[in-house]
Structure 1
């Protein structure tokens, strides 16, 4: 199974918040996921990104790929 770490949108209309999730690469954006890793809220000032480091490292060690959106977020945060 090809696992990717990506964002899943939820929240109200015009007020998006996102879950950082580990999911099978072939699943839909809002489909079922393997594990929730964290959250991202772009509407706060400054935007907040909360990630569980142990879960994130676990999935990376097991071959998960990062999506483009996650790569951009991590570069902006210098993580």
Structure 2
């Protein structure tokens, strides 16, 4: 089973809101997920990114890898999961 950190889209048309979830890469974008580990709101003046870094580090240690978009969010927040997972 290939685990991924992925964005799950919610909200109205033209007003997106995203949950960051841990899911099997074969599941649909808004399909079944294992755990919700954060959220992302791009519609505010300064985009809001809230992440549970301790839970993300746990899943990273288990083998979960971020998609490109989630990796960009981690880079914006200056979070290195590999360093956190080692500690």
TM-score normalized by structure 2? 0.86
1:26 maps to 26
Q: What is the alpha-carbon distance in structure 1 between the residues aligned to residue 51 and residue 77 of structure 2?
A: 12
Cross-structure match for 2:82: none
Partner of 2:74: 74
Deviations 1:15-60 (A, max 9, x none): 0000000000100101010000000000011000000112111110
Instruction: Name structure 1 gaps, 5 residues minimum.
Output: none
Task: Return the alpha-carbon distance in structure 1 between the equivalents of residues 75 and 51 of structure 2.
Answer: 14
1:15 aligns with 2:15: yes
Rounded Cα–Cα distance in structure 1 between residues aligned with 2:76 and 2:39: 16
User: Which consecutive residues of structure 2, in runs of 5 or more, have no partner in the other structure?
Assistant: 80-87
Select the structure that is richer in helix. 2
The alignment of Structure 1 onto Structure 2 pairs a total of residues equal to: 79
Question: Is 1:38 aligned with 2:38?
Answer: yes
